[in-house]
Amino acid sequence: MKKILVSLVSFAVFAIAFSFIGASSVSAARAYTDKGNGCYVRVGVGDDDYVFDASCAAHDVLKLDDEGNVEFYQYQDHGQLPEDVIPPSRTVNYNFDTCLSFGSLGIVCGTINETITPSGEYKSSFNSY
């Protein structure tokens, strides 16, 4: 019984050790988070069809690798359209790919999803890829 137990423990140790062979390293740098109020809310189909909603809640996460390059970026917000620009009684979704400039950190590309409900509730997100 003791031989079997020693064999199993040895196998487990070797299995764990070999599982790390070829694994890419994970960045030890911390992610930067931010949250606050105020965002731009889409009110039309054009690139400039946005209004500012001061009560909109927004938060984002920026993760850099060990060399200071952007590893990923995520953004989410939640607001309410002004009464005079609420779309017709249907949910409107905008989904598109775009790239954002982070100045000295470079360009980050990802997908933007924006949803407007018939009540005027607005949600958007950006997820890098």
Q: How many Å apart are CA 46 and CA 120, to the nearest integer?
A: 18
Is residue 23 one of the residues assigned to a domain?
A: no
Is residue 48 one of the residues assigned to a domain?
A: yes
Walk along the chain (129 residues) and give the pLDDT tens digit of each residue.
Answer: 555 544 444 554 455 555 555 555 566 788 999 999 999 888 877 778 888 899 999 999 999 998 888 999 999 999 998 888 887 778 888 899 999 998 888 899 999 999 989 888 999 999 999
Is residue 88 one of the residues assigned to a domain?
A: yes
Is residue 86 one of the residues assigned to a domain?
A: yes
> Collapsing DSSP states into helix, strand and coil, what is residue 7?
helix
Count structural domains, the chain.
Answer: 1
Is residue 6 one of the residues assigned to a domain?
A: no
Is residue 24 one of the residues assigned to a domain?
A: no
Is residue 110 one of the residues assigned to a domain?
A: yes
CA distance readout (Å), 56 to 42, 65, 69, 98: 12, 30, 29, 22
The answer to whether 65 and 29 are in contact (CB under 8 A) is yes
Tokens linked to 47 = 């690139």
Tokens linked to 120 = 């005027």
Is residue 119 one of the residues assigned to a domain?
A: yes
> Collapsing DSSP states into helix, strand and coil, what is residue 58?
strand
- The residue range of the domain holding 86 is 31-128
